């Protein structure tokens, strides 16, 4: 028992030490960014991680918002800092389901995004509630049980959320 308590105390100390180092690094980065901004040399954050994950939420059928979301995803994929490091998922639910309908003009854009590795996901709850058949939607999408559930899980996994 004594051995377990010592191990737990050691692990807790290591965790606190790692957190302190992370906080110190974050504070130093923020200070360097402020200094660069004041000197007019700030060029944005440095993508120093090996991999980044983002989920885009679309719950509106507004064509302007749909185009903005697709444009935002394209811009993220083209960001030179994130090239080869970014995993993207687009989850549609509620009104956002319009994006994936066969009678809408987005198929070419979605095909291009899918070819770049973007995960295109649709909430099954929305289809059930709105009585929409999968036959009405583009065949290039995947389905998840719940859009909100997908957001919750992805955020718990450390994914960033973008909701244009």
Cα-flanking dihedrals φ and ψ of residue 75, to 5°? Answer: -65, -40
pLDDT tier for residue 35 given thresholds of 50, 70 and 90: confident
pLDDT digits (tens, 9 = 90+) for 10-25: 445 544 454 545 555 5
Mean pLDDT across the chain: 87
Crossing angle for the helix pair 107-115 and 63-78, to the nearest 10 degrees: 20
Using DSSP's 3-state secondary structure scheme, residue 132 falls into coil
Cα dihedral sign, 104-105-109-111? positive
Please name the residue ranges forming H helices in 40-106. Answer: 63-78
Q: What is the pLDDT of residue 2?
A: 56
pLDDT tier for residue 40 given thresholds of 50, 70 and 90: confident
Q: Is the pTM of this model over 0.75?
A: yes
pLDDT digits (tens, 9 = 90+) for 53-85: 999 999 999 999 999 999 999 999 999 999 999
pLDDT digits (tens, 9 = 90+) for 101-147: 999 999 999 999 999 999 999 999 999 999 999 999 999 999 999 99
Domains annotated for the chain, with CATH where assigned, are 1-45 (no CATH), 52-162 (3.40.1260.10)
Asked if residue 161 lies in contact with residue 154, where contact means CB atoms within 8 angstroms, the answer is yes
User: What average pLDDT does this structure show over 40-62?
Assistant: 92
């Amino acid at each position: 028992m004594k051995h377990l308590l010592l191990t737990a105390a050691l692990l807790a100390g290591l965790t606190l030490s790692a957190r302190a180092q992370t906080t110190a690094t974050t504070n130093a980065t923020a200070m360097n960014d402020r200094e660069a901004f004041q000197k007019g040399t700030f060029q944005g954050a440095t993508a120093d991680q090996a991999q980044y994950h983002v989920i885009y939420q679309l719950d509106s059928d507004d064509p302007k918002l749909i185009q903005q979301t697709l444009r935002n995803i394209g811009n993220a994929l083209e960001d030179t800092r994130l090239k080869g490091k970014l995993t993207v998922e687009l989850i549609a639910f509620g009104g956002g389901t319009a994006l994936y309908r066969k009678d809408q003009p987005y198929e070419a854009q979605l095909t291009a995004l899918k070819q770049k590795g973007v995960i295109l996901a649709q909430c099954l709850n929305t289809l059930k509630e709105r009585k929409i058949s999968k036959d009405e939607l583009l065949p290039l999408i995947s389905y998840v049980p719940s859009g909100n559930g997908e957001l919750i899980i992805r955020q718990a996994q450390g994914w960033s959320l973008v909701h244009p």
